[in-house]
Amino acid sequence: MLTQLGHGDLARLFQMNRSNHDVKSEMNRLSQELATGRKSSIAEAVGGDFAPITSIEMTLSRNAAFQTASTEAANFASVMQHAFQTISSFGAKSASNLLNASQAAQPELIGTAAADTAARLQPVLAALNTEFGGRSVFAGEDVSGPAVADAPTLMAGLSAATAGATDVASLMAAVDAWFDPGGGFETTVYLGSTTPLDSVDIGQDVSADLGFTAFDSELRDTLKGIALAGLIADGALAGDTAARAELMQRAGETLIEGESGLTQLQARLGTVEELIEEADAARTAESSALTMTRASLLEVDPYETASRLQQVQTQLETIYAMTARMQSLSLVNYL
């Protein structure tokens, strides 16, 4: 049976009910903050000034986008570097074989060295047709298709262009013209765009230049040297061993020039890879610092929050006990 309450008791009971509501709200807030680790009211946490936290969130979001672009650029560069290494290994071996055979000036050695080198043309072209993520790596802006045609197409075009050559000088002039910009290589073999890929933004005012194409002169030199060996293997200047030996020497020297150019390309690409790593490190450091700053603004101290929650629970128990005495309520009825 409930105890009769006077006006003063009713006033105190009303006050206790209000206190009970306030304490329960506080307990719910603290429980939520303890569970999420973040303050429930951002406005209160930043004192009504949202500019700092907005700036932090925008920078973190921007850095996340840069990280995605940077990861893709790093993978793209890695695929390019592997292709360069593959092409370089073919060129270096071929140059040595061609120069040795040209010095011997023996028809059989010349024929064998030429055939061995010519067999490397298709693997080199295949390396230039490397793809990453469904995109052609060395085709410039035209990433949807292969960068170069196959070896038979190249050799057919070059053979037609040199068909009238009767000596080393005229043959080399025809080969040089065919591989120069505007020549047969550009019009029939290179299938990509002469406009390189745009630089990739990987940080604030930092970009990675991956604009390497199969039409770069350094790569054309390597293809030219191997293709010269292919002409020899197909019988260019047949019957003139001295001329064929000289042509083989020119092929070896062209490959050496191509190897030097490839080394420069690899160095340039290595610089880009280093830039990507440096940008990643700087961006990671900035994001870590901003995350810590955001935490200091929005996150709660779990120990302090747990302690405060315990205090509030004690307050609620006290209010319950006082109310129960006034109304003779059981805990079940109270709740």
DSSP per residue over 130-194, as a string?
-EETTEESSSTT-TTS-SB--HHHHHHHHHHHTTT--SHHHHHHHHHHHHSTTSHIIIIIB-S-S
Question: If you classify domain 53-290 with CATH, what class do you get?
Answer: mainly alpha
pLDDT above 80 (res 313): no
pLDDT above 60 (res 43): no
Q: What is each CA distance from 236 to 1, 84, 102, 110, 315, in whole angstroms?
A: 120, 29, 15, 12, 101
Counting residues of the chain whose pLDDT is more than 90, the rounded percentage is 67
- Encode pLDDT of 51-67 as tens digits: 787 888 899 999 999 99
Average pLDDT over residues 209-213: 97
Which amino acid belongs to residue 300? V
Average pLDDT over residues 98-103: 95
pLDDT above 50 (res 3): no
Counting residues of the chain whose pLDDT is more than 70, the rounded percentage is 79
Average pLDDT over residues 134-146: 96
pLDDT above 60 (res 179): yes
